[in-house]
A and B are shown apart, each in its own frame.
Chain A
């Protein structure tokens, strides 16, 4: 009997993971024989793995595993401004993303609705959207820092800006392309404008709007890491940059893994939400 596809795929995934870790492990094995040649003063100065000279600063899978376990065991410690648990850093980043993203949704969905309803505004605003959309959100950072003067709010503003466009464009597109026959149904039933908006246009456009929201949350989570590297202070992006300054590759790898995990969870959550509003024709 053949195992189910998902079981076989799972086994293959595990095999690939094992192979990757194996290659990583072999590549980071210390070269034997050169130990003990290091000047103790130099060792004291640079400390740790680097002092042993022959061993690279790149940790072995076991080292990273230990670091990861250490972070997972105690994610919320606070030992001063520059030494806080990875859980706290992720929470800061998530908080910024959710505030910026939430504000963007509050602006983009109603505005997109209005743009989509009116071919005039659709056309009039299109050049602005087309020019503003491809701007890297980080390019707004100096302007934000100059006008807002608060680095935390600036980071939220950057998230806001980058989340705005996909939601705005998708909402406007979804609303503008609601099937004429559904609008005709509403018209022949003399449905009022508000009821039409909420009972016909919104459900019809909801899958397109959700697609925009899903694109936006992905971009927001990409951008927050870079934004926090710039503004500093707190957040997972700052954590990565801080650990780079500490040359703690193990911490960086741990953070990278967690960034990926959180991004995946955000995407899955939005995909679930999208399924709720999807319909088959």
Chain B
């Protein structure tokens, strides 16, 4: 494996609990992310997913451990790591163009106005918001707002994109089309992405690697699942691939049962948090019978 772009090392988060003890949300989390990789983190609420993302973003401090980028420990937020927030987090008094221009001028304070404008326009076009440049966020639909958030993050041309359940507040149709667009943009630009989700289908469509986290408190990375679906997968035909059900069942199985019982699963066996097992479901096992079409993952 090549040297990772970003490396999470021995990360832990604890907070004081009543009675003078400490509650550990997660501990000893190790995760390297290579350049150009799309990594999804899946886990139930309370396992510290958002905390990990906020630490990566530099918005939160871990109780222990470090995040290394380019051989250096991160000390705070950086323009190299753009965040797409769960709520769109647009500044409501600025137009679409204004919001993106605010980010671009933060990145390039010396750029003349025309250049900033042209640069913003490019990314407004990328997320298909041409014509809505001068609208205020309140005049946009939820999906359009999230597109602005994506354009704002892309426009600063970060080394890495961090997404915190970016589509969870959207309706299913909008979510689907935005997922397609994010996949297209990220493959085209070879963007490195770290995304949090609890939607199995979303992870299967977008991610190269799916990191499974056990339930908190004391959450840890159980395993890293490599996406065995072909690179050119699309939402419309993703379920026709041979390894689709194997992968999906593996992920669902983890979320439904193994995320709770993982501690007893590894009891007595060797488990190295620095090298969680890498799994490729569907590669060796036969494809699941097609008549088993599980209902959509519990994405609540």
CB interface residues, B 77-125, toward A, < 8 Å: 77-79, 81-83, 85, 87, 89, 91-94, 102-103, 106-107
Whether A188 contacts B102 by the Cβ 8 Å rule is no
Q: Closest CB of chain B to A185's CB: distance in Å? A: 5
Residue of A nearest to B149 (CB): A185
Whether A188 contacts B83 by the Cβ 8 Å rule is yes
Whether B92 contacts A189 by the Cβ 8 Å rule is no
Tell me if B65 is interfacial: C-beta within 8 Å of chain A.
Answer: no
Alpha-carbon gap, A195 to B103, bound state (A): 12
Alpha-carbon gap, A190 to B105, bound state (A): 11
- List 20 A-B pairs, Cβ < 8 Å: A181-B85, A182-B89, A182-B91, A184-B89, A185-B83, A185-B89, A185-B91, A187-B59, A188-B83, A189-B77, A189-B102, A190-B106, A199-B102, A200-B91, A203-B91, A203-B94, A204-B91, A204-B93, A206-B93, A279-B138
Alpha-carbon gap, A60 to B271, bound state (A): 98
Alpha-carbon gap, A253 to B191, bound state (A): 74
Chain A residues with CB under 8 A of B83: 184-185, 188
Tell me if A73 is interfacial: C-beta within 8 Å of chain B.
Answer: no
Residue of B nearest to A185 (CB): B89
Alpha-carbon gap, A199 to B92, bound state (A): 12
Number of residues from B at the complex interface, CB < 8 A: 25
A189-B102, A190-B78, A191-B106 known; A279-B92 Cβ under 8 A: yes
Alpha-carbon gap, A199 to B87, bound state (A): 20
Chain B residues with CB under 8 A of A204: 91, 93
Encode contact with B along A188-215: 1 for CB under 8 Å, 0 otherwise: 1111000100011001101000000000
Chain B residues with CB under 8 A of A187: 58-59, 76-77
Of B79, B91, B92, B94, the contact of A190 (CB 8 Å cutoff)? B79
Tell me if B207 is interfacial: C-beta within 8 Å of chain A.
Answer: no
CB interface residues, B 182-240, toward A, < 8 Å: none
Encode contact with A along B141-173: 1 for CB under 8 Å, 0 otherwise: 000000000000000100000000000000000
Chain B residues with CB under 8 A of A79: none
Q: Closest CB of chain A to B54's CB: distance in Å? A: 9
Whether B78 contacts A203 by the Cβ 8 Å rule is no
Of B59, B76, B107, B138, the contact of A281 (CB 8 Å cutoff)? B138
Whether B136 contacts A279 by the Cβ 8 Å rule is yes
Number of residues from A at the complex interface, CB < 8 A: 19
Encode contact with B along A269-281: 1 for CB under 8 Å, 0 otherwise: 0000000010111
Alpha-carbon gap, A277 to B93, bound state (A): 8
Encode contact with B along A155-192: 1 for CB under 8 Å, 0 otherwise: 00000000000000000000000000110110111110
Tell me if B57 is interfacial: C-beta within 8 Å of chain A.
Answer: yes
Q: Closest CB of chain B to A200's CB: distance in Å? A: 7
Whether A189 contacts B87 by the Cβ 8 Å rule is no
Whether B138 contacts A185 by the Cβ 8 Å rule is no
Alpha-carbon gap, A279 to B83, bound state (A): 24
Of A182, A188, A206, the contact of B59 (CB 8 Å cutoff)? A188
Residue of B nearest to A189 (CB): B106
Whether B85 contacts A184 by the Cβ 8 Å rule is yes
Chain A residues with CB under 8 A of B136: 279-280
Chain B residues with CB under 8 A of A185: 83, 85, 89, 91
Chain B residues with CB under 8 A of A280: 92, 136, 138
Encode contact with A along B40-59: 1 for CB under 8 Å, 0 otherwise: 00000000000000000111
Q: Closest CB of chain A to B144's CB: distance in Å? A: 15
Encode contact with B along A1-30: 1 for CB under 8 Å, 0 otherwise: 000000000000000000000000000000
Alpha-carbon gap, A181 to B137, bound state (A): 15
Alpha-carbon gap, A185 to B137, bound state (A): 15
Whether B89 contacts A189 by the Cβ 8 Å rule is no
Alpha-carbon gap, A181 to B156, bound state (A): 18
Q: Which are the 9 A-B pairs with shortest beta-carbon distances?
A: A280-B138, A189-B106, A279-B93, A181-B89, A187-B77, A279-B92, A188-B77, A203-B93, A281-B92
Encode contact with B along A257-273: 1 for CB under 8 Å, 0 otherwise: 00000000000000000
Q: Closest CB of chain A to B137's CB: distance in Å? A: 8
Chain A residues with CB under 8 A of B77: 187-190
Q: Closest CB of chain B to A31's CB: distance in Å? A: 64
Alpha-carbon gap, A131 to B136, bound state (A): 41
Whether A181 contacts B87 by the Cβ 8 Å rule is yes
Alpha-carbon gap, A195 to B136, bound state (A): 21
Residue of B nearest to A179 (CB): B89
Alpha-carbon gap, A206 to B83, bound state (A): 26
Alpha-carbon gap, A279 to B81, bound state (A): 29
Q: Closest CB of chain B to A205's CB: distance in Å? A: 11
Alpha-carbon gap, A185 to B86, bound state (A): 12
Whether A188 contacts B81 by the Cβ 8 Å rule is yes
Residue of A nearest to B104 (CB): A189
Most A C-beta atoms less than 10 A away, residue of B57, B81, B91, B102: B91
Residue of A nearest to B88 (CB): A181
Chain A residues with CB under 8 A of B78: 188, 190
Chain A residues with CB under 8 A of B106: 189-191, 195
Most A C-beta atoms less than 10 A away, residue of B59, B93, B137: B93
Alpha-carbon gap, A181 to B90, bound state (A): 9
Chain A residues with CB under 8 A of B156: 189
Beyond A189-B107, A203-B94, 18 additional contacts (C-beta under 8 Å) are A181-B85, A181-B87, A182-B89, A182-B91, A184-B59, A184-B83, A184-B85, A187-B58, A188-B57, A188-B58, A188-B83, A189-B77, A189-B106, A189-B156, A203-B93, A204-B93, A206-B93, A281-B92
